[in-house]
A and B are shown apart, each in its own frame.
Chain A
Amino acid sequence: MSGTDIVLQDVRKVYYKDRLEIPVLEGLDLRVDAGDFVALMGPSGSGKSTLLHLIGGLDRPTSGQVRVGQAELHRMSERQLTAWRSRHVGFIFQMYHLVPVLTAAQNVELPLLLFRMPARQRRQRVQVALDVVGLGDRMDHRPNQLSGGQEQRVAIARAIVTDPDVILADEPTGDLDAATSSEILDLLRLLNSEFGKTIVMVTHDPRAAARSRRTLHLDKGVLDREELHAATPTGAGA
């Protein structure tokens, strides 16, 4: 029961479209211990992204509880959630979402602008984050001067630059070829094993899922299956 466990209890999420109820999550329970690396799989439309958004405080459940570390996200206002996100989670998206007009370093620096921090310290942090993802020499490149894999690395650097406990990744390799995917997954494993980050990763790719510690299967609004993976050595084939 260390710092940043993720605990969801009896979570329901219902969308409304033209007064029509669209239940997505129906009484879902989930527990991710601090330091775990969980892959989340399931058919398209099963609610994987929705679940990730709830864990990351981007959305609130219709009912039920979402606790991340000490924070009871289901009780927090939008404003509180916004501030909480900036300190406690790092997001990684399938499409990277880098700002095209900013350099790699400036993109990575963005989350730090929300903190009171001397510019020198910010630069240092950006440098470290880019070194971790292996792009220390691409600081001044614009996103359109980088390959897809490099863009995703910059996005990962941006997710870790504030040193959050939890990293949430929504199909981080969905847009990448197998070899590049493997490198990105290595990186995530490194963040998990060396830096102790708790990671929840949505993926459609069983090979990607196999690189996590365990895979959860989401179907019809609940988690119906779980597999544990033997620890695969870093860098093993994908």
Chain B
Amino acid sequence: MALPISYNWRNLFVRKLSTALTFIVVTVVVFVLAVLLSFAEGIRASLSSSGSRANILVLKPGSTAEGTSIIIPEEYARLSQTPGVARGPDGRPLISRELYVQTSIPRRGPDAAPANVAVRGVEDTAFAVHDEVRLIEGRLFEPGALEVIVGRAARDRYRNLELGGQIALGRLGNRTCRVVGVFEARGGAFESEIWAPLTLLFDAYARRFVSSVALRLGDPARADQAVAYVNGPAVNLEARLETDYYRELSAKTREIVVLTTILVGIMGVGAAFAVANTMYAAVDGRRREIAMLRTIGFPRSSIMAAFVVESLLICTAACAAGLGLSLLVNGSRQDFLSEATWTVLAYELRVTPRTLIAALATAGCVGLAGAMAPALRAARTGVIDALRKA
């Protein structure tokens, strides 16, 4: 019962300008959708691969991020009794004190706008607790030397963070440190950071406290017990699973997804009108042809289907084009300022299967919504009237 696709396809080229404009509009919608979603996917991917289920992160009660948390030495001392903490080969408990500060570093690229990059002061145990951190270039910093290592994402995104580069740390910016190593951390948030010896930061920032303490557990299943102990009167700090901490930070991505949905929704409505406009013109220009098809026996449904298919052809092609364009930004490094930590998280834009499905669904909806009214008009064409006016 259906008219051949070639019929629909060729008809699209009869009204080249109108078809082209509609194609462009839908392409832009799909492109914006794909880019915004790949932002969200990139951030989500980065944060969801951050942290370990075997770690608990301890902050000052009421703090939601390391940057606003202060843990003084007495409090830290009380943590050593936490039950279930794993021990390293040397028998020491795997408890990592970490100081979290930030420094301003210009981004790579022509604008060189400065970004707040996180600097984490760590001791040896940090590398046992955060065992996903792995050096991929250079070497570890030497205790006591003015040396730092940097995450892979940070190196790619910010200036002077390549091996051998120099950055200024300290309250007065007067400690020039050299980058001696680059690390990765399964794509997680640490890769956006600079890691320095804890003592160096104590000194440079005149601090006596740390921001957070990370504890590695021997048995992740018993995390509840450890968390309860830390939260209880014995320590009186606030503990949570490290993975939960990063999941909370990624709330931002949900915001992006919501905003994306609203924005793309509005654009989609506009695009549907553009499609409808094109299809109305097509229907009105082909009234006699429709009448002829009805005369030789094509039912209304075939006529309707023909115009819906035409609209979907434009929109599918536009979907492919929009996604194709979005692949150009795929993998490029961006960063965003986390509202929770006030530091930047560098991540890769990612076009994922989810983006693909969302783009197809959007283009399909636009195509269907735009085609409905014109296709109905086409199906209702008065055959005799249209023939008579020939």
Chain A interface (Cβ < 8 Å from any Cβ of B): 49, 53, 56, 58-59, 79, 82-83, 85-87, 91, 93-95, 97, 99-102, 106, 110-111, 113-114, 158
Contact = CB atoms under 8 A, between A and B. Distances in A.
Interface stretch (B7-15, B76-84, B255-263): B7-15
Nearest to A99: B289
Contacts of A94: 390
Contacts of B295: 56, 58, 85, 91
Interface in B374-390: 383-384, 387-388, 390
B376 to A, nearest CB: 16
Nearest to B13: A101
Contact of B2 (A97, A99, A111, A113): A113
A87 to B, nearest CB: 8
Given A101-B7, A102-B7, A93 B296 contact: no
A83 B296 CA distance: 9
Given A58-B384, A101-B7, A93 B297 contact: no
Contact of A97 (B1, B14, B390): B390
Interface string B119-163: 000000000000000000000000000000000000000000000
A114 to B, nearest CB: 5
Given A102-B7, A113-B2, A97 B298 contact: no
B294 interface: yes
Nearest to A81: B297
Contacts of A102: 6-7, 10
Given A79-B299, A82-B299, A113-B1, 18 more contacts: A49-B388, A56-B295, A58-B383, A58-B384, A58-B387, A82-B297, A82-B298, A82-B300, A85-B296, A86-B297, A86-B298, A91-B295, A97-B289, A97-B292, A99-B292, A102-B6, A102-B7, A158-B296
Contacts of A111: 296-297
Interface centre among B4, B296, B383 (most CB of A within 10 A): B296
B7 A99 contact: yes
Interface in B358-383: 383
B288 A95 contact: yes
Given A93-B387, A93-B390, A97-B292, A114 B298 contact: yes
Nearest to B286: A99
Q: For the complex of A and B, list the 6 residue pairs with the smallest distance between their C-beta atoms, beginning with the closest.
A: A86-B297, A101-B10, A97-B292, A95-B390, A85-B297, A111-B296
Contacts of A113: 1-4
A93 B291 CA distance: 11
By size class, the interface of chain B is 20 to 34
Nearest to A97: B292
A97 to B, nearest CB: 4
Interface in B289-317: 289, 291-300
18 contacts: A49-B387, A58-B295, A58-B383, A79-B299, A82-B298, A85-B295, A86-B297, A86-B298, A95-B390, A97-B288, A97-B289, A99-B7, A99-B292, A101-B11, A111-B297, A113-B3, A114-B296, A114-B297
A96 to B, nearest CB: 9
Contact of B296 (A53, A100, A101, A110): A110
Nearest to B288: A97
A91 B10 contact: no
A86 B11 CA distance: 24
B318 to A, nearest CB: 21
A218 B82 CA distance: 107
Contacts of A56: 295
B286 to A, nearest CB: 9
Contacts of B387: 49, 58, 93, 97
A118 B387 CA distance: 31
A59 B382 CA distance: 10
Given A100-B14, A113-B3, A113-B4, A82 B390 contact: no
